[in-house]
Structure 1
Amino acid sequence: MAEIARRATDKGNRILFVVHRKEIVDQVVKTFKQQGVDMSLAKIGMVQTITRRVDKLKEPSIIFVDEAHHALAKSYRRILDKFPQALKLLFTATPYRLNGEGFEEVADDLILGNSIKQLIKDGFLAPVDYYAPVQLDVSQLKTKRNGEFDEKSIEEAFKPKVYGNAVKTFKKLGGNKQAIAYTYNVASAERLASELNGNGVVAKAVSGKTPKDERDSIINDYRNGKIQVVTNAELFTEGLDLPNVDVVIMLRPTQSLSLFLQFAMRCMNPRKGKTAIIIDHVGNVNRFGLPTQPHNWTLEGSKKGSKNSPSEAVKPVTVCPKCFSTFYRKGDTCPFCGAELTEEKVLDVVEDAKLEKIKEERIRKAHMIMENNLVSNIADKKISELQNYEEVKAYAKFKQYKPGWVYFYSKKRGFIK
């Protein structure tokens, strides 16, 4: 992006760069200056600020949007629509939204980069080992209206032993490596930091509530190696450059593919001889597969059952019963520790509905995450046999339909007014 900006400003063209966090503004300004961008022709700012002042801005020739999977929001659209003649360049690692919306309204074309596996092969990303101990009772998880897990239900589902196990697992797998831990709220970030410090690991908790000066100080200390683990509640999901992260600890379940990939790939900045480590305590891998799995990204939205959905056809994932390493199974022994594998230890991912076992798993997971946990036997029902709104929601979960389908079908059947 800096190279495109440099070439544009060298020709006297004005550019506008839109981000969604203050830390990323500072990072972009630093990078652009290093790369020789004429900063007198560059406006770089947060979307919240720019959208309020868009009428006062000088017209840019090029608009850059960072983390562009957010670009459908009204604040972004106001900026993009204000300058119809400008070239819009939207950048994201995850062109996908939880609600299934497409990007046709803000983009004319999708230019795909190399796959994750190719980027690893070429040295632009570090290879990764994925560990997934089962340490969370997900039977109590419920969903909010936006499709994400309800914070209160996460609080109820989490057991105190998780934090102790998370600390022991990190010390075993992470050693002296630096880590970022993703927790589900501020209190859990603080508790985990306290547990880590109590076990000899220097850790700090950071959230959106942390004062900016304190947050900047923690980030600098982390970059300088004074802090080993930063625990946070959704603060470091996107954009911020932390090149010395070697380990990601997931203690926050999500149903968003974009958020999962942002979590997972935080530790994959390359370094000679480095292998990144992901410790997934909440089973996100069972919903999305490994982060190295290819996705069928498109501008079009993923409608009900559409092949355009990036999370369609996720392969079954195996977790080793001895070392908890997670991988795609190719034989009868763990490729990491050599332990023998049994059929019972193969975790079938819900997206592959062709196998009977996965069909049963889908029913079980639908029960686990639905708001009332009471709907049963939906897999064997025809659509016309659904009796109420709750059954429609459970059926949509089971079939991987998008939230919009629930609304329109429920309205058609008279379950909602």
Structure 2
Amino acid sequence: MSTQAQASAALAGAEVISLRDYQAGLVTEVRASLKAGRRRVLAYLPTGGGKTRVATAITQMTLSKSKGRVVVLANRKQLVHQFAAALRAAGLDVGILQGENTHGLHHRVVVASIDTIHARNCIFGDVALFIIDEAHACAGSEKYRALLFRYSRVPCIGLSATPFARGLGKPYPELRGPLFEDLVIGATVQSLVDAGHLTDLEIYAPSSPDMTGAKTSRTAEGEQDYRQADIEEAADRPELVGDILRHWLKLAGGAKTICFASSIAHSQHIVEQFRAAGVTAEHLDCYMDDETRADILRRFERGDFTLLSNVSLLSEGFDVPDTSCMVLARPTKSLTRFLQMIGRILRPAPGKTRALLLDHSGSVERIGHPFDDLPLELCDGNANKAGSRKDERKKSEPKPCPKCKFVRDAGVHECPKCGFKPQRQSDVEVADGELVKIDRKAKKPATPDRKQHVYSQLLQVCRAKGYRPGWAANQYRAMFGVWPRGLNEVTATPTQELLSWLKSQQIRFAKGREKAGVSHGAV
């Protein structure tokens, strides 16, 4: 019997948790990190990879080797009850510390709401281990940090499918070190898909809102994302809502679907459109009482209706494996939010051969394919480092096919879904019927992030070469047709792509001035 099995069997009435190889490997590496003297270890597994099973196995080991208690922390009521249910299913006696639902605090395992702990100023005197679910939230939460400061000597294991929030590795004097000292990686999304533990994904990108000029603000995870007011204004338009229904009817074939909308009103408008077309649909939001929400979720799980629409309520803790389609109607720039939402449809289920993402938000083209390599290293809170890590992730540049809207890599000429081969006509891909013109020359979309990056590179070239201050602005205008208004005066290392473009500009300018005898050096 393995060490984990022996430890589990030592607990009377507890089920021996069976772990997959990568889960057992993660447990081993986390324990090794703690034994090496680290107090706070962050464990990464993609959504659907089995973080709760890993936590259950670690809980059983801790109880068998220590007289102290295990306290599991979560930041949502739904997550508290889900985690408690999973631990009880393994035969453990579990108490809950969450608002009016508090009970069984004498048990050696307590699942607690961080909000309740903070509000009641709860103090634990016999904790052997803290486990934090969705631990990426710690970076932006004073409540979590206050608890970790108070119990800085107690081992803590964080669990997350998105461990790249800004500040997860930031040093604090109260901790005499970083918030989390080590990141242990259990598996990647692609490896779990290849092994059949997650479902492969097909992506279609029909219409999307125009986010030009939309402002951004910092999320709790330290990422920049669109302001809520700008999202609502851009996305909740009748023509876009109608397009969601039209493409769902064409591509989803009545599959069980979850929809992420930009606002409550937007979600309700989507549900109205689907119902008018004879598709059973329900809306869910945080203002409904617990009983109503639970009833809607139960009926969706049973298959009583087809589409469940919400804003962000179901981005964490939602687990209905036979949900095979997602409509993403909420534009985002946040990698964390993007992956949390998409993770809802990747769990396998009987008869489920693939998951389908209908991206009506422009997020795939903006952020990249969900299976791309992630920036799996703890961020120390440095803004420049966080930005460079995000850029490093974007290895693919997915583009929608002009004919069927299936998302393929930018370098793939023939669509693998419909066989469409775009013809080069004035540098524009044109397809009959639907669709949006896509500039073949633009290897990257001219998003605000893209424009800022180009301008920052131009500033670096300008300063390195000693050009006049207006040079960078003029080059920017030559590329985008507008002046760089509202952009930050920060520099970035120029890419070979930009240097090649500048060289072509200089050659073109030199040829135009050749008769006047003017020459210019290369960049």
- With the shorter chain as reference, the TM-score category is 0.7 to 0.9
Give deviations 1:179-205, integer Å, cap 9, x for gaps: 111111111111111111111111111
Change (3 A) 1:329 1:392: closer
Q: In structure 1, the residue corresponding to 2:206 is in which secondary structure?
A: coil
Change (3 A) 1:32 1:45: same
Q: In structure 2, the residue corresponding to 1:216 is in which secondary structure?
A: helix
Q: Structure 2 CA distance, aligned partners of 1:135 and 1:356?
A: 20
| Aligned match of 1:321 | 402
Give deviations 1:366-407, integer Å, cap 9, x for gaps: 29999xxxxx977644587499xx96962479969xxxxxxx
Q: Structure 1 CA distance, aligned partners of 2:273 and 2:234?
A: 19
| Aligned match of 2:191 | 118
Q: In structure 1, the residue corresponding to 2:226 is in which secondary structure?
A: coil
| Kept in 2: contact 1:65–1:90 (CA 8 A) | yes
2:120 to 49, 53, 66: 53
| Aligned match of 2:62 | 8
TM-score (norm 1): 0.82
| Kept in 2: contact 1:186–1:233 (CA 8 A) | yes
Change (3 A) 1:398 1:292: farther
Q: Structure 1 CA distance, aligned partners of 2:193 and 2:240?
A: 32
Name stretches of at least 5 consecutive residues in structure 1 with no aligned partner. Answer: 347-354, 371-375, 401-417
Give RMSD over aligned pairs.
3.1
**2:487 paired with 1:394:** yes
**2:442 paired with 1:365:** no
Q: In structure 2, the residue corresponding to 1:332 is in which secondary structure?
A: coil
Q: Give the letter for the 1:279 counterpart.
A: L
The alignment of Structure 1 onto Structure 2 pairs a total of residues equal to: 381
| Aligned match of 1:286 | 365
| Aligned match of 2:275 | 197
| Aligned match of 1:309 | 389
| Aligned match of 1:271 | 349
Q: Structure 1 CA distance, aligned partners of 2:348 and 2:68?
A: 34
More divergent stretch after superposition (304-313 vs 281-290): 304-313
Q: Structure 2 CA distance, aligned partners of 1:121 and 1:299?
A: 26
Change (3 A) 1:49 1:339: same
More divergent stretch after superposition (269-278 vs 149-158): 149-158
| Kept in 2: contact 1:6–1:35 (CA 8 A) | no
| Kept in 2: contact 1:296–1:310 (CA 8 A) | yes
Q: In structure 2, the residue corresponding to 1:286 is in which secondary structure?
A: helix
**2:155 paired with 1:87:** yes
1:234 to 312, 317, 323: 312
Deviation at 1:144, TM superposition (A): 3.3
Change (3 A) 1:308 1:248: same
Q: In structure 2, the residue corresponding to 1:144 is in which secondary structure?
A: strand
| Aligned match of 2:234 | 157
| Aligned match of 1:108 | 181
Q: In structure 2, the residue corresponding to 1:61 is in which secondary structure?
A: strand
Change (3 A) 1:165 1:357: closer
Q: In structure 1, the residue corresponding to 2:384 is in which secondary structure?
A: coil
Q: Give the letter for the 1:334 counterpart.
A: C
| Aligned match of 1:25 | 80
1:148 to 190, 215, 225: 225
| Kept in 2: contact 1:184–1:251 (CA 8 A) | yes
Change (3 A) 1:378 1:111: closer
| Kept in 1: contact 2:198–2:346 (CA 8 A) | yes
| Kept in 2: contact 1:250–1:282 (CA 8 A) | yes
Change (3 A) 1:170 1:356: closer
Change (3 A) 1:63 1:181: same
| Kept in 1: contact 2:209–2:331 (CA 8 A) | no
Deviation at 1:69, TM superposition (A): 0.7
Q: Structure 2 CA distance, aligned partners of 1:32 and 1:345?
A: 54
Question: Percent identity between the aligned chains?
Answer: 23
| Aligned match of 1:77 | 145
Change (3 A) 1:345 1:7: farther
| Kept in 1: contact 2:274–2:280 (CA 8 A) | yes
Q: Structure 1 CA distance, aligned partners of 2:225 and 2:390?
A: 17
| Kept in 1: contact 2:456–2:490 (CA 8 A) | no
Q: Structure 2 CA distance, aligned partners of 1:378 and 1:299?
A: 25
- The structure whose RCO (Cα within 8 Å, separation 6+) is larger is 1
Q: Give the letter for the 1:243 counterpart.
A: P
Deviation at 1:45, TM superposition (A): 1.8
Q: In structure 2, the residue corresponding to 1:271 is in which secondary structure?
A: coil
Q: Give the letter for the 1:101 counterpart.
A: G
Q: In structure 2, the residue corresponding to 1:209 is in which secondary structure?
A: coil
More divergent stretch after superposition (223-232 vs 7-16): 7-16
Q: In structure 2, the residue corresponding to 1:138 is in which secondary structure?
A: coil
Deviation at 1:256, TM superposition (A): 0.8
More divergent stretch after superposition (3-12 vs 226-235): 3-12
Give deviations 1:24-79, integer Å, cap 9, x for gaps: 11111111011122322111122111223343334311111111111121111122
Name stretches of at least 5 consecutive residues in structure 2 with no aligned partner. Answer: 1-54, 95-106, 171-177, 431-439, 464-468, 473-482, 494-523
